[in-house]
Amino acid sequence: MKNILDLAYNIIGLPRLIISIFLLVFLIAAAVVDLSIPMLTGSLLVRVGMNAVLVLALIPAIKAGTGLNLALPLGIMCGLVGAVVAIEYKLSGAASFAVALAIAVPLAIIVGYLYGLVLNRIKGQEMIVGTYVGFSVVSGMCIFWLLAPFKNPEMVWAYGGTGLRNTILLHSSFDKILNDFLGFKIGEIEIPTGLLLFFGLLCFMVWLFGKTRTGNAMHVAGSNPRFALSCGINIDKMRILGTVLSTILACIGILVYSQSYGFLQLYQGPLMMAFPAAAAILIGGASPKKAAISHVIIGTFLFQSLLVVAPPVINVLVEGSFSEVFRGIVSNGVILYALATKWEGGE
Amino acid sequence: MIPEQKELKPNTNSPLIKIKRKLIEFAVPLLFLVLCIIGAYYARLQPSFLINEIIMRMARNPVLVLALIIPVLAGMGMNFAIVLGAMAGQIGLIIITHYEATGITGVTVAALIAVPFAIIFGYLTGKLLNRAKGKEMITSMIFGFFAVYVWQLFFLVFVGSIIPMRNEKMILSTGVGVRNTVDLVGIRYALDDIIKIRDLPGITIPISTLIVVALFCILITFFMKTKLGQDIRAVGQNMEIAAISGINVDKIRITAIIISTVLAAWGQIIWLQNIGTLNTYGSHVQVGLFAVAALLIGGASVAKANIWQVLLGTFLFHTLFIISPTAGRNLLGDAQIGEFFRVFVAYGVIAVALVLHAWQKHSAAKNK
């Protein structure tokens, strides 16, 4: 009996266990204080879909052996530039989303490649370097948003200020373009079909890539560098590939996130976005050295359901808005746990 | 892999090479000095205003930067978790404001109250960093973020409900949670005002605070010469060799972090007695970022730092801080650009320093 419990504990892992218990407690509490379950479920589905791509973006980096990619803001910036350009030309609907992607992805390839070159020179310090590269790019881009010669009145301050607005409404471009695609209702629950399909498609592509020769080589390079070397795999090249893929997924991720959110957040908005994503994949059972798509799905689901259920329950008990505090404690706590644990595998 | 051919050693005594080496050593401070001069030219601030601001900041900021030195020497990198030290200092200030202690007595009591908190926080940080050897900086940074949220939870929810606190000036009208700003009028300038020179028009020199800063500088220099200081250096140079020679590495590392945290607590108190208002949920958040950026701008690296780099870095970083909004407005027509620029500089300089350091370490390991 004890062995079975030990085994179960080893499979589930401490973070997943704690978060699940938390979630269970809050769900019971939610039932007790009579929260509308259909509404919560609907918003949970949307939030899982909108955040999951950013979490998925961590997979190629972990597979290639560069650990948790805390420089996600690099890709996010590319996505935002794509979106802003698409809006500047007053595109609307699916065209605006497609153009934003078409601009963002090539940018992400270049940025990811350059960042990959940096990562190859600082092996072992990827997380702290990634964090500060991300921070400095976000704050450097603040100057860009302020000075860039955009003209569309929907984006620039009406008067009294220069540069782009802090938040740009997407109602005339690609607001909810994925969420509403084939959307339908079951009872009171709205299903964001397009959003979930799009995420599923990206998952499938990542999975498919893992099955190819290159994908396999990248995985070997990340999980067992010595063996990879003896197989003639160019480890540095594989690390760059992983970084590029991660950056591309991050730029797609922010566009998916924004279309669901309804507006773009510029300036300091994306500064901290990598941390909840990293927390989500860790909650899902991944480690900085090993991750699978199932970890993305489970982790995003657990983390987001906790974030959906907990704040309204807490608000019944105490006044004030604690969703931010709650998210911060959970996500940073989980990352700390990962940092303070010795993981198997890797070097 | 083919080992790279060894280069011939250049003649180290040639004066040209000496100058070149000095230039490389001071490249970062020189670059920022140039930036400061250009910025000061375009900012066109009144000289007396600029000098006054610089003196004020040279009094209130260096202790927070000094707090970083010992962990650097212990080989633990930049201790971003001095945020927790700042919190300990603020706890002291909140308590004395609650009991309405004022003046230099108030500041001293706050500094004393802060010590046990700082020791506990430092101990926890040290324990955590010992579990994350080789990843100290990212761990201390995330621990800092974590602590910021725990602080919010504590002072928004627990104070007033679990921990009794009734001072109406500090507690929100609901009776639970500390207000966004706490007026520190009772202790404002308490340390600065002990000895102050106002002989020059528009310039005040808080001599007493400057003396305290100098004392801390001397104390740290002296401390590094003691047995404990030497042990810290030994651990910083090589943990394995230190362990073989009988040093309890983990304990030394925890001690280094505790000292850093206590210094940060005092640094935050010195800083806040000058500012005069405590932003309950904001004053501590950027402490780590600004201190680390200042130290790096002074020419320190993640593995090497000294007192002069602290002072030079504080001077350059804060000069840039004063002039960049006005310089930005005069140059590009928007003060916001200057503000974004200085945040960018703070993050950017840390990013570049981290990349360079990790790069050096990586190529050193490769050459072995």
Q: Which residues in chain B have Cβ-Cβ distances shorter than 8 Å to A122? A: 354-355, 358-359, 362
- Alpha-carbon span B127 to B136, nearest angstrom: 11
CB contact under 8 A, A339 and B132: yes
Q: For residue B23, tell me if it sits in a domain.
A: no
Beta bridge partners of A290: A287
Is residue B63 predicted with pLDDT exceeding 50? yes
In a domain, B108, yes or no: yes
Residue boundaries of the structural domains of chain A: 38-339
In-domain check, residue B214: yes
List the single residue in B with minimal CA-CA distance to A71.
B351
Whole-angstrom Cα distance, residue B307 to residue B214? Answer: 10
Report yes or no on B42 lying in a domain.
no
The pLDDT of residue B6 is 47
Asked whether residue B13 carries a pLDDT value surpassing 80, the answer given is: no
Lowest mean pLDDT across A82-91, A94-103, B42-51, B354-363: B354-363
Could you give the CA distance from residue A79 to residue A166 in angstroms, rounded to a whole number? 16
Q: End-to-end alpha-carbon separation of chain A, Å?
A: 35
Q: Do B354 and A125 touch (CB under 8 A)?
A: yes
Give burial (CB, 10 Å; 0-12/13-18/19+) of B174: exposed
Average pLDDT over residues B104-115: 94
pLDDT, residue A165, reads 87
A292 Cβ contact partners less than 8 Å away, ≥ 6 residues apart: A59, A286
pLDDT score of B265: 96
Residues, chain A = 347
Convert the pLDDT of each residue in B166-184 to its tens digit. 777 888 877 788 888 988 8
| From A127, A140, A328, residue closest to B344, measured CB to CB | A140
Q: Does A140 contact chain B (CB < 8 Å)?
A: yes
Say if B106 falls within a structural domain: yes
Span A1-24, pLDDT tens digits: 667 777 777 777 777 788 888 888
pLDDT at B230 over 80: yes
**Cα separation, B91 vs B113, whole angstroms:** 8
Q: What is the pLDDT of residue A77?
A: 95
Q: Which residues of B touch A139 (CB under 8 A)?
A: 340, 343-344, 346-348
Chain A residues whose CB is inside 8 A of the B149 CB are 325, 328-329, 332
A58 in Cβ contact with A327 (< 8 Å): no
Query: What share of chain B has pLDDT > 90, as a percent?
Result: 54
- The reply to whether residue A136 touches residue B143, judged by beta carbons under 8 angstroms, is no
Cβ of residue B350 closer than 8 Å to a chain A Cβ: yes
Query: Residue B348: inside a domain, yes or no?
Result: no
Which of A17, A270, A239 is closest to A142 using CA atoms?
A: A270
Mean pLDDT over B155-160 rounds to 83
CA distances from B156 to A206, A295, A328, B148, B175 (A): 43, 34, 15, 12, 10
The residue count of chain B comes to 368
pLDDT at A319: 65
Of the pLDDT bands very low, low, confident and very high (cuts 50, 70, 90), residue B368 is low
The dihedrals phi and psi of B206, each to the nearest 5 degrees, come to -80, 80
CA distance A182 to chain B (A): 40
Measure B362 CA to nearest chain A CA, in Å.
Answer: 6
- Residue A147, chain B, CB below 8 Å: the answer is yes
What is the reported pLDDT for A12?
Answer: 72
Residues within 8 A of A (CB atoms), B 8-67 only: none
C-beta atoms of B146 and A136 within 8 A: no
What is the per-residue pLDDT for B7? 47
Instruction: Say which residue, B332 or A89, is predicted with more confidence.
Output: A89
Contact between residue B131 and residue B143 where contact means Cβ atoms under 8 Å apart: no
> CB B337 to CB A147 under 8 A?
yes
Q: A275: how many CB neighbours lie within 10 A of its CB? A: 22
Of B156, B176, B340, the CB nearest to A139: B340
Asked if A56 and A202 count as a contact pair (C-beta separation under 8 A), the reply is: yes
Residues A328 and B146 sit within 8 Å (Cβ to Cβ): yes
The closest alpha carbon to B91, from B67, B119, B128, belongs to B119
Sequence-distant (6+) residues with CB within 8 A of B334 are A146, A162, A163, B328
Find the mean pLDDT for residues B347-364: 84
B347, burial (CB in 10 Å: exposed 0-12, middle 13-18, buried 19+): buried
DSSP string, A14-63: HHHHHHHHHHHHHHHHHHHTT--HHHHHHHHHHHHHHHHHHHHTHHHHHH
Residue B197 φ then ψ, to 5° = -105, 125
CB-CB neighbors (< 8 A) of B135 in chain A = 127-128, 339
Q: Closest residue of B to A130, CA-based? A: B351
Residue B80 — pLDDT band, cuts 50, 70, 90? Answer: very high
Q: Which of B42-56, B79-93, B209-223 has the lowest mean pLDDT?
A: B42-56
B351 to A135: CB separation less than 8 angstroms, yes or no = yes
Best residue of B151, B172, B336, B340 to probe chain A, by most A CBs closer than 10 Å: B340
Q: Which two three-digit tokens encode residue B291?
A: 């201190």
* B138 vs A122, A131, A135: nearest CB: A131
Place of tokens 């945290």: B261
Check CB contact of B362 with chain A, cutoff 8 Å. Answer: yes
Distance of residue B188 Cα from the nearest chain A Cα, in angstroms: 30
How many CA within 13 A on the CB side of residue B92? Answer: 32
Q: B176 Cβ partners below 8 Å, 6+ apart?
A: A318, A319, B156, B157, B159, B160, B161
Q: How many Cβ atoms are within 10 Å of B195's Cβ, its own excluded? A: 13
CA distance A88 to A94: 15
What gap in Å lies between CA B36 and CA B39, rounded to an integer?
Answer: 5
Question: Residue A140: what pLDDT?
Answer: 93
Calculate ∠ Cα A79-A57-A228, nearest 5°: 130
Mean pLDDT (whole number) for B229-236: 94
Classify residue B268: in a domain, yes or no: yes
pLDDT for A343: 74
* pLDDT score of B361: 79
Closest C-alpha to A201, from A56, A78, A44, A51: A56
Residues of A in contact with B154 (CB under 8 A): none
Q: What's the CA gap between B287 and B259, in Å, rounded?
A: 17
Of A62, A100, A49, nearest in space to A245 by CA = A62
Longest distance between any two alpha carbons in chain B, whole Å: 74
CATH of the structural domain A38-339, one choice from 1.10.3470, 1.10.10, 3.40.50, 1.20.120: 1.10.3470
Q: Is B356 on the interface with A (CB under 8 A)?
A: no
User: Both tokens of residue A30?
Assistant: 């939610």
Q: Which residues constitute the domain of residue B202? A: 48-284
User: In this structure, which amino acid lies at residue B201?
Assistant: P
Evaluate if residue B5 carries a pLDDT over 60. Answer: no
Contact across the interface for A143 and B340, Cβ inside 8 Å: yes
B161 backbone dihedrals φ, ψ, rounded to 5°: -95, -55
| Residues 6+ positions from B318 with CB-CB distance below 8 Å | B53, B54, B57, B58, B61, B294
Residue B359: its chain A contacts at CB < 8 A?
A: 121-122
Please compute, for residue B58, the number of CA atoms within 13 A of its CA located in the half-sphere on the CB side.
20
B366 touches chain A (CB under 8 A): no
CA distance B49 to B319: 12
Instruction: State which residue of chain B sits closest to A140, comparing Cα positions.
Output: B344
Q: Tell me whether B333 touches chain A (CB under 8 Å).
A: yes
Extract the tokens encoding A290: 């090993």
Q: How far is CA B285 from CA A140, B145, B280, in A?
A: 20, 8, 10
> In chain B, how many domains are there?
1
- What value does the mean pLDDT of chain A take? 87
Interatomic CA distance for residues A335 and A287, integer angstroms: 10
Which of A:232-251 have CB within 8 Å of B? Answer: none
- Residue of A138, A146, A340 with shortest CB distance to B132: A340
pTM assigned to the model: 0.90
Residues in chain A predicted with pLDDT less than 50, given as ranges, are: 346-347
* A88-92, B10-14, B118-122: least confident range: B10-14
Is B91 inside any structural domain?
Answer: yes
Name the helix (H) or strand (E) containing A169. Answer: strand A167-169
Residue B2 pLDDT > 50: no
